[in-house]
Amino acid sequence: MRTKADDSTTKITLLETGMRLFARYGFEATTTRMIASEAGMNIATMSFHFGNKENFFHQVLVYTAEQIRSHYRPLGEKADRLKEEGRLDSKKAWDLICEYVDLILSIVANMENSDTLSLLFHEQNQKLFSDFPITRVICKEAEKILQTLLVAYWEGGEEQTVAAISRVINGSLITLGEHPMFIRRSLGLADDAKLSADVIGTIRGYTLRGIEAYRPENG
């Protein structure tokens, strides 16, 4: 007799298989037969849990968005707690900004999460659904954390200006993982090569120095 635990394990196996294949081949080129075969299951099992391919793809995007949210959640909760307690001063904000940049670089720099970030591209390109789960997490949730920290660090700043700067910072860093071959080819590296600590340090330093140097009144 099948249990809820069995169903949960089966669904997670299918979702993680879907993440890999959709990231690699895109929605159109990935078939339900490919997914079921890769997961070691049959198409009937996949249909039982998810229905058609479009619904399965959406559930993969939702599952992926939750993985991304779990990376950001502890830092966001820390920033919110300090803000609510009135203790998010410029020094604490700077420490959390450094932590935030390090978090993004840990996610995108060395290919470990390339499937997750490739799905961000496929979600935006395919436009099958209006809710864009991964984009919403990154642009509506993760970037809100950085916006809160930037305002506290700069001790002010117009909302739209800070939002635009947050988007530039996140967009440029996430591109390292969303389109990993660009920077690697510009450095003469293989597409799947790890970026060295020196390269990561340069990107980190450039990002943080830009934040340090900028003040809204100087914009």
- Angstrom distances, CA of residue 150 to CA of 144, 163, 214: 10, 9, 10
58-218 in CATH: which number? Answer: 1.10.357.10
First-to-last C-alpha distance (Å) of the chain: 65
Q: How far apart are CA 116 and CA 61, in angstroms?
A: 9
Q: For residue 106, what pLDDT band results from cuts at 50, 70 and 90?
A: confident
Domain ranges of the chain: 1-51, 58-218
Q: Tell me: the pLDDT tens digits for 15-59? A: 999 999 998 899 999 999 999 999 999 999 999 999 999 999 999
Is 216 a residue whose pLDDT tops 60?
yes
According to the model, what pLDDT value does residue 2 have? 47
Entry pTM: 0.82
Mean pLDDT of the chain: 87
Instruction: Return the minimum-mean-pLDDT range out of 26-35, 81-90, 128-137.
Output: 128-137
Segment 79-88 shows an average pLDDT of: 96
With beta carbons less than 8 A apart as the criterion, state whether 143 and 166 touch.
yes
| pLDDT for the residue 218 | 46
Amino acid code (one letter) for 29: A
How many Å apart are CA 73 and CA 83, to the nearest integer? 15
As a CATH number, domain 1-51 is 1.10.10.60
Q: Using 50, 70 and 90 to split pLDDT, how confident is the model at 219? A: very low
Q: Cβ distance 208 to 98 under 8 Å?
A: yes
Check residue 6 and give its pLDDT: 58
On whether the CB atoms of residues 78 and 109 are closer than 8 A, the answer is no
Residue 3: per-residue pLDDT: 55
CA 60 centroid distance within chain = 14
The residue among 93, 67, 86, 71 whose CA lies nearest residue 15 is 67
pLDDT digits (tens, 9 = 90+) for 147-159: 999 999 999 888 8
